[in-house]
Amino acid sequence: MTTPEPLDKSFNHQAAEARLYQWWEQSGFFKADPDAPGQPFVIVIPPPNVTGNLHMGHALDETLQDILARYHRMIGHNTLWLPGTDHAGIATQNVVERALAAEGSSREALGRDKFVERVWQWKKEYGDNIVRQLRRLGASCDWSRERFTMDEGLSRAVREVFVTLYEQGLIYRGHYITNWCPRCRTALADLEVEHEDHKDQLYYITYPIVGSDLDSLVVATTRPETLFGDTAVAVNPADARYQAFVGQQALVPLTGRAVPVIADSYVDMEFGTGALKVTPAHDPNDYKLGQTHNLPAIRAIEDDGRLSPAAGDYAGLDRFEARREMTAALEAKGYLKKIEPLTHAVGVCYRCKTVVEPNLSPQWFVKTETLAARAAQAVRSGATSFVPQNWENTYFAWMDNIRDWCISRQLWWGHQIPAWHCRECGQTVVSREDQLACPYCGGDLERDPDVLDTWFSSALWPFSTLGWPDQTKDLARYYPTTALVTGHDIIFFWVARMMMMGLHFMGQAPFKTVIIHALVKDAEGRKMSKSKGNVVDPLLVIDRCGADAFRFTLCALAGHGRDIRLSDDRIAGYGKFVNKLWNAAKLVLTNVGEAALTDSPPAPVSLPDRWLQSRLGQVAAQVRAHLDEFYFDRVADTLYHFVWDEFCDWYLELIKPILYGDDLPARSATQAGMLQSLSAILRLLHPVMPFVTEELWQKIPGGPALSPSIMLAAFPGQVFEDRSAEASIGFLMDVTRAVRSARADFGVPLNQKLAPLVKTAEPALAAALAEYSPLLLKLMGAESITLSEAGLAKPLDAALAAFPWGEVWIPLAGHIDLAEEAGRLAKELATLARDIKAATAKLGNPDYVGKAPEEIVEETRDRLAAMETRSQALSRSLDMLKEMGA
């Protein structure tokens, strides 16, 4: 790996990203080796739809996974991040159907085989799109293990699972009322139906009682168009108004058909008229009533949403047109009593938002009760846990009230159900091998035309991708996986089902931790959607700001909340951080002299180096802890502030006089120290910002020799600690800031050098100042810094800053406005007095002293003492100023 030598003015992400990624991938750095040592760390990617384009949700998801994968590689774990894509049944079929429509063709015109062939062709052409886009983010997936939910191996797993569950009685087929999408022409699982509030109308329709010219029942319905499917009118048995009618026949208007009046406590007496028309073929509740009361089911609406031949004159009309026309006819004939507005929830298809039509049809189901009980138990026992934990409640709420899962879809793209129906004897055969003749009667078999719900194959993803049902080395080494990273929108669709299938077929939950991240919203908190036109394309962001800035932003925003508001400002801010890092590295690298990284770095000697390395150790420990607990935002925050506020603002500024000075031994020691620190910083940042850190690593003397890629370098840990160096630097910072602050307060120009006096009773600090004050002169614009035991003995034209460790006097002859300084001191004294009073009162409270933990009380005592010392110094100074006539 070679990179252009002189360090550019800024990081050229556009040139570097593609070059580095290609090099990583070709070098095999992403590849997992089951034979390698190390505790396994495994993530399977939530497979994006093959039809998809990379959106913000993926970008966040993949970034977090990549951060974890890179971190775990660097701490020596045997890391596998397995990528792949999902065939996305309805979505993909829709895309290809639209393409066909544009050509003036259709799937029906093509026929099933040709159509499926066509989809495969489409997949071949466009299916790599999304995985190419993932690479742009820097995703370190093991591409040699990339899988597709419909590839050969996974298809075998699907078939094995289906047949096994069928044999175990956990899959069954039957005529049930299911959610039907008339546009997609397929059944949907309950989960795939979304509920929207619609403003509709409630129609009151008169049903005359047969054999009576006077008596009639009025039913209230939102769906007059289903009237041709009515097979009863139901009332509550306790309803005095209708008791006389129970058992009689009512005439369904427009049909001339009579239906029984039945009594069932299900009917709500308060709603509408308390009388309900019963349409078992088009309403789940009515279906149940039909079962209990042995009512026939008449389909009034066909699969395409048009009225069936049972609707007589209205047959062939779209259901909503039929509603209008039938309402008009009812009114004309005097059956329509009134219409009331009604707002109610209507089910719509999650893919196309078409109003769902409950429909009676033969479908396949998974019996979920026992599977779900075990899956819930795995989380209750802690075998698997959610982060943040409150999502477990959501998971339980669903698992504990789960209903059977409708898995058959009337689509052509997907895993065709391995079942055959005999044309002769009507038996059904479910089999691992294709069947040619009926094993019962030898008759002709017809394969079940349905395919499986897409989520059925993704439910197997954590083990099917590792080679199951074969007992592969990967499966043995990498199952169960370690962490799953996904959004809360698919906890039910995907996470819950993987839990059920993983436990059932592998005997162990598929992952130890489920990390649920927020959903990415726009800057105003709105969901990003094409129709709103507020979609931000991650690829454009990467082009403009670079993958590193983008990833850092996502990491910084990935707190444990529910949504993330992504704004350009924020990304731009972290873009500046990348630039800051680059420039800091440039400073270090252009001043390294002969220093180079080695296996065994020398211990730091100078105070700045001891301090920085000590802080570095703490930061490394914090970053590790935050990554181990998946607090991504804290990782970003900790690193950002350490690099910018401590490394750049203080450390680099402190060592400049040494680097530019002529004390050669001190200079070379510092050169070694700063290179060491830079190397650690790059490694700490690498999981979040892989590109810029690799680019810089390649330029570090001795870096590539130590580790060809930063990806393979060791993640820093806490190896050095020096509390006294930290205390000394903190003191030097206090002094520096006091002088800067006084300069700003009194408007002293920078070119006028100051000569502050420092008073402290602590010998270690005094010694640090004596030795290192030359490093501070430039930072505060001073010509000298004098240690003075007495502080200022006599009144002087000076500003005072008081600290727990002592005082800084800044003589400002000619600049100081005595009245202003007196005012400043008085203000500070007032706040101090208030705090002292509060602390004194606290310590005077026997309950506080008696009940609060000793260290808390001790802390308050220390604080009070420090405040009193400061207060005394300030009031002394105020007195002096007053003497001078302020």
Partner RNA sequence: GGGCGGUUAACUCAGCGGCUAGAGUAUCAGCCUUACAAGCUGGGAGUCAAGGGUUCAAAUCCCUUACCGCCCACCA
User: Per CB under 7 A, which of residues 112..171 are in contact with RNA?
Assistant: none
In whole angstroms, how close is the CB of 829 to RNA at the nearest point?
A: 13
Helices 56-74 and 632-641, axial angle in degrees (round to 10) = 70
Is residue 662 part of the contact set for RNA (CB under 7 A)?
Answer: no
Is residue 848 part of the contact set for RNA (CB under 7 A)?
Answer: yes
Is residue 586 part of the contact set for RNA (CB under 7 A)?
Answer: yes
In whole angstroms, how close is the CB of 463 to RNA at the nearest point?
A: 26
Using the Cα atoms of residue 268, residue 269, residue 270 and residue 274 in order, give the sign of their dihedral. Answer: positive
Which one among 248, 428, 579, 871 touches RNA, defined by CB under 7 A? 579
> How many positions of this chain bind RNA (CB under 7 A)?
85
Is residue 784 part of the contact set for RNA (CB under 7 A)?
Answer: no
Is residue 537 part of the contact set for RNA (CB under 7 A)?
Answer: no
DSSP assignments along 172-240, one per residue: EEEEEEEEEETTTTEEE-GGGEEEEEEEEEEEEEEEEBTT-SS-EEEEEES-GGGGGG--EEEE-TT-T
Is residue 569 part of the contact set for RNA (CB under 7 A)?
Answer: yes
Q: Which stretch binds RNA (CB under 7 A): 78-86, 324-332, 634-642, 704-712?
A: 634-642
Token pair of 62, please? 């993949």
786-787 and 757-760 beta bridge pairing: parallel
Query: Residue 591 contacts by C-beta under 8 Å, 6 or more apart in sequence?
Result: 659, 671, 674
Q: Which stretch binds RNA (CB under 7 A): 156-164, 290-298, 602-610, 850-858?
A: 850-858
Interface map 466-495 toward RNA (x if CB under 7 A): -----------------------x--x---
Query: Residue 651 contacts by C-beta under 8 Å, 6 or more apart in sequence?
Result: 608, 611, 612, 674, 677
Residue whose CB is less far from RNA, 634 or 759? 634
DSSP assignments along 103-171, one per residue: TT--HHHH-HHHHHHHHHHHHHHHTTHHHHHHHHHT----GGG-EETTSHHHHHHHHHHHHHHHHTT-E
Which one among 175, 333, 353, 562 touches RNA, defined by CB under 7 A? 562
Which residue, among 86, 187, 174, has the nearest Cα to 367 in the 3D structure?
Answer: 174
3-class SS letters over 752-800: CCECCEEEECCHHHHHHHHHHHHHHHHHHCECCCEECCCCCCCCCCEEE
Is residue 583 part of the contact set for RNA (CB under 7 A)?
Answer: yes
Is residue 393 part of the contact set for RNA (CB under 7 A)?
Answer: yes
In whole angstroms, how close is the CB of 175 to RNA at the nearest point?
A: 17
Contact present, 638 and 619 (Cβ < 8 Å): yes
216-221 and 249-252 beta bridge pairing: unpaired
CA–CA distance from 653 to each of 291, 656, 675, 743, 784 (Å)? 83, 5, 15, 19, 18
Interface with RNA in residues 489-528 (CB under 7 A): 489, 492, 523, 525, 527
DSSP 3-state of 419 = strand
Which one among 156, 337, 374, 863 touches RNA, defined by CB under 7 A? 863
Is residue 637 part of the contact set for RNA (CB under 7 A)?
Answer: yes
Is residue 58 part of the contact set for RNA (CB under 7 A)?
Answer: no
Which one among 20, 251, 330, 584 touches RNA, defined by CB under 7 A? 584
Which residue, among 181, 121, 102, 123, has the nearest Cα to 406 in the 3D structure?
Answer: 181
Interface with RNA in residues 236-275 (CB under 7 A): 266-269, 271-272, 274-275
Is residue 341 part of the contact set for RNA (CB under 7 A)?
Answer: no
What gap in Å lies between CA 221 and CA 214, rounded to an integer?
22
Residue whose CB is less far from RNA, 614 or 709? 614
Which one among 284, 443, 449, 593 touches RNA, defined by CB under 7 A? 284
Is residue 367 part of the contact set for RNA (CB under 7 A)?
Answer: no
Is residue 744 part of the contact set for RNA (CB under 7 A)?
Answer: yes
Residue whose CB is less far from RNA, 712 or 830? 830
Using the Cα atoms of residue 551, residue 552, residue 558 and residue 564 in order, give the sign of their dihedral. Answer: negative
Q: Which stretch binds RNA (CB under 7 A): 38-46, 92-100, 317-325, 856-864?
A: 856-864
Residue whose CB is less far from RNA, 194 or 303? 194
Which one among 156, 447, 544, 740 touches RNA, defined by CB under 7 A? 740
Which one among 91, 587, 666, 843 touches RNA, defined by CB under 7 A? 587
Is residue 543 part of the contact set for RNA (CB under 7 A)?
Answer: no
Token pair of 590, please? 């252009």
In whole angstroms, how close is the CB of 145 to RNA at the nearest point?
A: 32
User: Where are any strands of DSSP class E within 379-478?
Assistant: 385-387, 405-406, 408-409, 419-422, 428-430, 445-447, 451-452
Which one among 19, 257, 565, 861 touches RNA, defined by CB under 7 A? 565
Residue whose CB is less far from RNA, 169 or 749? 749
Residue whose CB is less far from RNA, 412 or 552? 552
Q: Which stretch binds RNA (CB under 7 A): 154-162, 409-417, 447-455, 847-855?
A: 847-855
Which one among 33, 369, 444, 649 touches RNA, defined by CB under 7 A? 649
Residue whose CB is less far from RNA, 707 or 741? 741
Which one among 34, 469, 573, 702 touches RNA, defined by CB under 7 A? 573
In whole angstroms, how close is the CB of 432 to RNA at the nearest point?
A: 32
User: Where are any strands of DSSP class E within 548-662?
Assistant: 563-565
- DSSP state, residue 311: G
In whole angstroms, how close is the CB of 198 to RNA at the nearest point?
A: 10
In whole angstroms, how close is the CB of 406 to RNA at the nearest point?
A: 12
What gap in Å lies between CA 411 and CA 65, rounded to an integer?
33
In whole angstroms, how close is the CB of 288 to RNA at the nearest point?
A: 7
In whole angstroms, how close is the CB of 152 to RNA at the nearest point?
A: 33
Contacts of 247-252 spanning 24+ positions with Cβ under 8 A: 248/209, 248/210, 248/211, 249/209, 249/210, 249/211, 250/207, 250/208, 250/209, 250/210, 250/216, 250/217, 251/207, 251/208, 251/209, 251/210, 252/207, 252/227, 252/228, 252/277
In whole angstroms, how close is the CB of 575 to RNA at the nearest point?
A: 6
Interface with RNA in residues 746-775 (CB under 7 A): 750
Which one among 195, 333, 423, 532 touches RNA, defined by CB under 7 A? 195
Which one among 644, 666, 702, 718 touches RNA, defined by CB under 7 A? 644
Interface with RNA in residues 3-22 (CB under 7 A): 10
Contact present, 534 and 561 (Cβ < 8 Å): no
In whole angstroms, how close is the CB of 719 to RNA at the nearest point?
A: 24
In whole angstroms, how close is the CB of 648 to RNA at the nearest point?
A: 4
What gap in Å lies between CA 671 and CA 716, rounded to an integer?
19
Contact present, 159 and 432 (Cβ < 8 Å): yes
Strand partners, 409: 451
Report CA dihedral (329, 263, 278, 260) to the nearest 10 degrees: -60
Interface map 211-230 toward RNA (x if CB under 7 A): ---------xxxx-------
Residue whose CB is less far from RNA, 294 or 751? 751
In whole angstroms, how close is the CB of 663 to RNA at the nearest point?
A: 17
Interface with RNA in residues 589-618 (CB under 7 A): 590
Contact present, 417 and 424 (Cβ < 8 Å): no
Interface with RNA in residues 402-431 (CB under 7 A): 403
Query: Residue 381 contacts by C-beta under 8 Å, 6 or more apart in sequence?
Result: none
Please state the length of the chain: 886
